[in-house]
């Protein structure tokens, strides 16, 4: 064997030994969520994860395919028909709500009392 090639081979082997000595133990890798803790063999574990992922994808596809139309969400007052930019929609809704509260408080403050209702023959 070529002396240069032999030196490189020895150096690579030493680096590999150093790397293997410094690598973390399996428990550390589980704690860092790099390895998954399982009692199953790795092949079965991978198949179970693939099955679980496929099930989640199918569930998501079903939910997306059966979600309500925007018109239905508007009718249920879940989605608001607005020509306001999304960044300021909440502020606009807050202002509308504040104005509505103010109107209600104003009407409650000026509503007729019991005597006035008796005089008008309402009660």
Residue 20 counted as domain residue: yes
What sign does the dihedral 13-18-20-21 (CA atoms) show? positive
Q: Which domain holds residue 103?
A: 84-119
Residue 64 counted as domain residue: no
- Compute how many other C-beta atoms are within 10 angstroms of the C-beta atom of residue 46: 13
Per-residue pLDDT of the chain (123 residues; tens, 9 = 90+): 677 777 888 888 889 888 888 888 888 888 888 887 777 787 888 898 899 999 999 999 999 999 999 899 889 988 877 787 878 888 888 999 999 999 999 999 999 988 988 999 888
Q: According to the model, what pLDDT value does residue 1 have?
A: 62
Residue 21 counted as domain residue: yes
Cα–Cα dist 61/78, whole Å: 22
Cα–Cα dist 122/80, whole Å: 39
Cβ-in-10-Å burial (0-12, 13-18, 19+) of 40 comes to exposed
Domain count along the chain: 2
Cα–Cα dist 93/99, whole Å: 10
Residue 69 counted as domain residue: no
């Amino acid at each position: 064997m070529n002396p240069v090639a032999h030196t490189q081979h020895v150096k690579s082997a030493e680096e590999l030994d150093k790397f293997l000595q410094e690598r973390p133990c399996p428990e550390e890798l589980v704690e860092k969520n790099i390895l998954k803790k399982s009692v199953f063999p790795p092949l079965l574990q991978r198949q179970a994860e693939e099955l679980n992922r496929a099930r989640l994808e199918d569930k998501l596809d079903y939910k997306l395919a059966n979600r309500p139309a925007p018109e239905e969400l508007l009718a249920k007052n879940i989605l608001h028909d607005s020509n306001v930019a999304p960044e300021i929609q909440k502020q606009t809704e807050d202002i509308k709500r504040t104005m509505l509260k103010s109107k209600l408080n104003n009407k409650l403050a000026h509503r007729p009392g019991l005597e006035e209702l008796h005089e008008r023959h309402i009660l």
